[in-house]
Amino acid sequence: MQLKKPIGATLASATCSLLGALPAAPVAAQEVPTWQVDTALLYYGEDAGRVSDGSLATSIRRVLDEDRSFSLNLTVDALTGATPNGAVPSNGVQTFTSPSGGESYRVAAGEAPLDPNFKDTRVALSGSWQQALGDSMRWNVGFSGSDEMDYLHLGLDTRLERDFNRRNTTVFVGAAYGRDEVRPLGGAPIGFSPMIPSVGGGEDDEGEGEGGETKDVIDALIGVTQILSRRSLVEVALSYGKSDGYLTDPYKILSVVSPVTGAPVPGPVGSGLNLYLHEQRPDTRTKQSVFAEWRYAFDRDSLAISYRLMDDDWGVTSNTAEARYRWNISENNYLEPHLRYYKQGAADFYRTVLFAGAPLPQFASADYRLADNETYTAGIKYGHRTERGEFSVRLEYYHQTATPSPGSAIGDLANFDLVPPLNAVIAQFGYKSSF
Amino acid sequence: MNRLRQCLLFLIALGGFALGGCATVEPWERDLHAREDMRPNEHDAAIDDHIYFSKEASSGGRGFAGGGCGCN
Report pLDDT for A2. 36
Closest CA to A240 of B64, B9, B54: B64
- pLDDT exceeds 60 at position A427: yes
Residues A217, A153 contacting (CB under 8 angstroms):
no
So what's the pLDDT on residue A434? 92
Both A163 and A249 in a single domain? yes
For range B18-28, the mean pLDDT: 71
Amino acid A30: pLDDT? 52
pLDDT of residue A208: 55
Does position B69 have pLDDT exceeding 90, yes or no? Answer: no
A40 touches chain B (CB under 8 A): yes
Q: Which residues does chain B have within 8 Å of residue A116's beta carbon, measured at their own beta carbons? A: none
Q: Check if the beta carbon of residue A274 is closer than 8 Å to that of residue A263.
A: no
CA distance B2 to chain A (A): 7
Say which of A153, A249, A328 has its CB closest to residue B67: A153
Q: Of A57-66, A184-193, A229-238, which range is least confident?
A: A184-193
Q: What range does the domain containing A22 cover?
A: 1-30
- Asked if A434 has any chain B CB less than 8 Å from its own CB, the reply is no
| pLDDT score of A11 more than 60 | no
Q: Select from A6, A51, A47, A50 the least CA-distant residue to A29.
A: A6
B1 to chain A, any CB pair closer than 8 A? The answer is no
Q: Are residues A211 and A232 in the same domain?
A: yes
The answer to whether residues A25 and A107 belong to one domain is no
Do A323 and A384 lie in a common domain?
yes
| Pair A14, A66 in one domain | no
Tell me the shortest Cα–Cα distance from B15 to chain A, in angstroms: 11
Give the three-state DSSP class for A362.
coil
The interface pTM score, or ipTM, of the predicted complex is 0.88
pLDDT(A155) > 60? yes
pLDDT for position B16? 57
Confidence of residue A212 (pLDDT cuts 50, 70, 90): confident
| Whether residue A116 is found in the same domain as residue A198 | yes
Band the pLDDT of B12: cuts 50, 70, 90. Answer: low
| Secondary-structure breakdown of chain B: helix, strand, coil percentages, each rounded to the nearest 5 | 55, 0, 45
Q: Is B2 within 8 Å of chain A by CB?
A: yes
Per the CB < 8 A criterion, the answer to whether A277 and A257 are in contact is: no
Q: What is the pLDDT of residue A223?
A: 96
At A360, the pLDDT band (50, 70, 90 cuts) reads: very high
Does the distance separating the beta carbons of B26 and A238 come in below 8 Å? no
- For the stretch A362-395, pLDDT in tens is 999 999 999 999 999 999 999 999 999 999 999 9
* Mean pLDDT value of segment A324-352: 98
Write phi, then psi, for B37 (nearest 5 degrees).
-75, -5
Which chain B positions have a beta carbon within 8 Å of A168's beta carbon? 21, 24-25
pLDDT at B60: 85
Residues 18-47 of B with CB under 8 A from A: 20-21, 23-33, 35, 37-38, 40, 42-44, 46-47
Instruction: Answer yes or no: do A8 and A68 share one domain.
Output: no
Q: B28 and A15: CB-CB below 8 Å? A: yes
- Residues A195 and A120 occupy one common structural domain: yes
Domain count, chain A: 2
Q: Is the pLDDT of residue A244 over 80?
A: yes
Return the amino acid letter for A432: K
Residue A233, pLDDT > 80, answer yes
In this structure, are A347 and A249 located in the same domain? yes
What pLDDT does residue A185 have? Answer: 84
**pLDDT 10s digits, A271-304:** 889 999 999 999 999 999 999 999 999 999 999 9
Q: Give the model's pLDDT for residue A14.
A: 37
- Judge whether A314 and A348 are in contact, CB under 8 Å: yes
pTM beyond 0.90, yes or no? no
Asked if A309 reaches chain B (Cβ–Cβ under 8 Å), the answer is: yes
Please give the residue of chain A at the shortest CA–CA distance from B44. Answer: A40
Tell whether A7 and A70 lie within a shared domain.
no
φ, ψ at A263 (rounded to 5°): -80, 150
- The answer on A288 and A159 residing in a single domain is yes
Q: What span, in angstroms and rounded, lies between the C-alpha atoms of A404 and A173?
A: 39
- We report the CATH number of the domain holding residue A46 as 2.40.160.40
Tell me, yes or no, whether A216 and A276 share the same domain: yes
Is the pLDDT at A24 greater than 50? The verdict is no
pLDDT at A44 over 80: yes
User: Do the chains contact at B58 and A342, CB–CB below 8 Å?
Assistant: yes
Nearest by Cα to A31 from A66, A69, A70: A66
